[in-house]
Chain A
Amino acid sequence: DAKTTQPNSMESNEEEPVHLPCNHSTISGTDYIHWYRQLPSQGPEYVIHGLTSNVNNRMASLAIAEDRKSSTLILHRATLRDAAVYYCILRDQGAQKLVFGQGTRLTINP
């Protein structure tokens, strides 16, 4: 599985936007970019995924660089409930399992 690189931790303030970066310079043409998050004492939760175009859903937006070597998860208005570990994962279109890295631990300050 192609590797992703994320900062170990980030901090933001409540009600402000948060941009979580992910580098994936070895991404292949068939790799989808998936984001999951894990709140304390819970299982991971799907956030968003995309291939080439930017994606939006009710939880977040995913901005994908034109060369696909990096992407950014955008939380438009962070709340305290968004404090979690966020995982950026590359998943080949034919792959059956998700391979998690270390993720970014996001802290939200009130």
Chain B
Amino acid sequence: NAGVMQNPRHLVRRRGQEARLRCSPMKGHSHVYWYRQLPEEGLKFMVYLQKENIIDESGMPKERFSAEFPKEGPSILRIQQVVRGDSAAYFCASSIFATNEKLFFGSGTQLSVL
């Protein structure tokens, strides 16, 4: 029973490039959450999605960041024109229901912007 799978584990980009982070939720889970963790800081909520819908994007930066969770395939967090400040660990979590269910987290993608 595979857990939440995130890839790549490490991603290196130069300033101005695009970063695409993928998250495959646990089997049967239709709720996905993305979090960002800057070095030596806590986890910050970014966005919550259900299949094909963005439910809460209150933590997403207004520009350059987007997320999707298509009917088929993994959830994608996309960062356009990356800057050094985007360097962080990005974690994805999934749950089977929307409310008061425990979240299962992936191992994260470490994004480094040169």
Q: Is the CB of A91 within 8 A of B100?
A: yes
**Is A86 an interface residue when CB atoms closer than 8 A count as contact?**
no
B69 at the interface (CB under 8 A from A): no
Min CB distance A4 to B, Å, is 12
Chain B residues within an 8 Å CB radius of A91: 100
Interface 1/0 per residue, B72-114 and A, CB below 8 Å: 0000000000000000000101000011101111111000000
B104: chain A residues at CB < 8 Å are 46
A97, B48: Cβ atoms closer than 8 Å: yes
Q: Is A26 an interface residue (CB 8 A)?
A: no
Within the complex, the shortest CB–CB distance from A97 to chain B, in Å, comes to 5
| Contact of B39 with A by CB under 8 A | no
Chain B's nearest CB lies how many Å from the CB of A81? 16
Q: Does A94 contact B (CB under 8 A)?
A: yes
Interface centre among B35, B55, B100 (most CB of A within 10 A): B100
Q: State the majority secondary structure of interface residues on B.
A: strand
Most buried by B among A36, A93, A97, A99: A97
What is the chain B residue whose CB lies nearest that of A100? B43
Chain B proximity of A89: nearest CB distance (Å)? 10
A94 near B45 with CB under 8 A, answer no
Residues in chain B near residue A46, CB distance under 8 A:
102-104
A38, A42, A96: which contacts B48 (Cβ < 8 A)?
Answer: A96
Contacts of A94 in B (CB 8 A): 99-100
Most buried by A among B35, B45, B48, B102: B102
Q: Kindly report which residue of chain B lies nearest to residue A49, judged by CB atoms.
A: B102
The answer to whether A96 and B98 touch across the interface, beta carbons within 8 angstroms, is yes
Within 8 Å CB of A103, what residues of B? 42
Could you tell me which A residues sit within 8 Å of B by CB distance? 32, 34, 36, 38, 41-46, 49, 87, 91, 93-103
